[in-house]
């Protein structure tokens, strides 16, 4: 286990949220001490999720510590290992790479910490982490299948298609790729000409798409695993004078993404609600720690992910606006 000095240095890149005036209510006693780790603020969608965690921590009297590894799996592992030196009531864990945090997750469970996995599977299928309280995540296969199907129908079932994936090794990326691939099978007139990793960030995706502008004179459509990469593709298309010639479909349904759908810059997106994917584990962990869910929490809690187009983008924008934050 890490020494005190190392603990201090590795936990330096974290945010602590002190409980608000509701601390101690609905179960009484001291605040729930909770640890959270995910990609970090390098991804704007995660920033929205971290904000939701802070909000619900204040509502439920949770003393929340958020680790920020800056999208670095090695740093995330080091931070979590360092955090083992402290005692936690609840730990909510989204591993950047599936299986990378399995060992410290097991140690947390063994220490009596209630561990909730969210977004990605914390363990590999053949090496599970026994004793997890729950897993909170979307059906990533289905959201990709639904969005890709809508995209291919928008192309009238024919054309050249590109997929831009997230981070290699993440379970959500694996499942989204499967959903994309299976959806395309129903459209024999659609040809997938490229499928590369953009790491969920705009710059990486834009660089990929700048190379596509040279290699592919025609790109009819694209499914990108998040909206940050979708905007990277849009930047490259715009710079090449090809904006509007490619139907772009993303995932996240952020306010910016929904506005781009309404303006016609993006064909469609999927609302993968950061407020729910990140916020629900805080709520569930607090309820469990305070003994407020006597019947127990389901082994898996699934977040619904509707496809967003011009017909419903306004409502998705409103529901994630300040002081609403419902979806």
Q: How far is residue 57 from each of residues 82, 106, 251, 252, 303, measured CA to CA in Å?
A: 22, 24, 26, 23, 19
> Which residues does 180 contact at the CB level (< 8 Å), separation at least 6?
144, 145, 148, 163, 223
Bridge partner list, 161? 192, 221
pLDDT tier at 295 (50, 70, 90 boundaries)?
confident
Is the confidence at residue 22, as pLDDT, over 90?
no
Q: Which domains does the chain have, with CATH numbers?
A: 4-119+278-293 (3.40.50.2300), 140-270 (3.40.50.2300)
Is the confidence at residue 1, as pLDDT, over 60?
no
> Which residues does 253 contact at the CB level (< 8 Å), separation at least 6?
227, 269, 270, 271, 272, 273, 306, 308, 316
Is the confidence at residue 23, as pLDDT, over 50?
no
Longest dimension (CA), the chain: 65
Q: How far is residue 117 from each of residues 48, 217, 227, measured CA to CA in Å?
A: 18, 43, 23
| Spatial separation of the C-alpha atoms in residues 41 and 39, rounded to whole Å | 7
Q: What is the pLDDT of residue 30?
A: 86
Percent of residues, the chain, with pLDDT higher than 90: 87
| Spatial separation of the C-alpha atoms in residues 186 and 191, rounded to whole Å | 11
Kindly report the average pLDDT of the chain as a whole number: 92
Strands 307-308 and 300-303: unpaired
Helices (H), 101-160: 102-110, 140-154
Q: What is the pLDDT of residue 12?
A: 44
Q: What is the pLDDT of residue 321?
A: 81
Of 4-18, 27-41, 234-248, 251-265, which gets the smallest average pLDDT?
4-18
| Spatial separation of the C-alpha atoms in residues 259 and 45, rounded to whole Å | 15
For the entire predicted model, the pTM comes to 0.89
Q: What is the DSSP string of 54-99?
A: HHHHHHTTEEEEEE--TT-HHHHHHHHHHHTTS--SEEEE--SSTT
CA angle 189, 173, 197 (to 5 degrees): 75
User: What mean pLDDT do residues 124-153 have?
Assistant: 97
| Spatial separation of the C-alpha atoms in residues 281 and 270, rounded to whole Å | 21
């Amino acid at each position: 286990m890490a020494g005190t000095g190392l603990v201090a240095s590795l936990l330096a890149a974290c945010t602590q949220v002190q409980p608000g005036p509701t601390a101690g209510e609905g179960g009484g006693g001291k605040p729930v001490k909770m640890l959270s780790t995910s990609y970090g603020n390098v991804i704007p969608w995660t920033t929205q999720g971290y904000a939701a965690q802070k909000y619900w921590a204040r509502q439920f009297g949770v003393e929340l510590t958020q680790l920020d590894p800056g999208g670095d799996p090695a740093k995330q592992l080091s931070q979590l290992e360092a955090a083992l030196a402290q005692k936690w009531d609840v730990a909510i864990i989204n591993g950047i790479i599936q299986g990378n945090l399995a060992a410290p997750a097991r140690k947390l469970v063994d220490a009596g910490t209630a561990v909730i996995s969210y977004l990605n599977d914390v363990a590999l299928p053949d090496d599970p982490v026994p004793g997890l309280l729950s897993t909170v995540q979307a059906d990533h296969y289905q959201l990709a299948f639904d969005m890709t199907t809508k995209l291919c129908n928008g192309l009238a079932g024919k054309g050249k298609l590109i997929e831009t994936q997230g981070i290699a090794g993440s379970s959500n990326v694996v499942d989204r790729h499967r959903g994309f691939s299976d959806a395309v099978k129903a459209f024999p007139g659609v040809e997938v000409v490229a499928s590369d990793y953009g790491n969920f960030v705009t710059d990486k995706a834009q660089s990929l798409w700048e190379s596509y502008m040279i290699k592919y004179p025609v790109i009819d459509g694209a499914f990108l695993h998040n909206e940050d990469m979708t905007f990277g593709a849009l930047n490259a298309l715009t710079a090449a004078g090809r904006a509007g010639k490619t139907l772009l479909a993303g995932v996240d349904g952020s306010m910016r993404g929904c506005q781009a759908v309404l303006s016609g810059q993006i064909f469609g997106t999927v609302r993968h609600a950061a407020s729910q994917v990140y916020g629900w584990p805080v709520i569930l962990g607090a309820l469990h720690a305070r003994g407020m869910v006597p019947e127990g929490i389901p082994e898996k809690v699934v977040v619904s992910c509707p496809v967003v187009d011009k017909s419903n983008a306004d409502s998705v924008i409103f529901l994630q606006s300040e002081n609403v934050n419902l979806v």
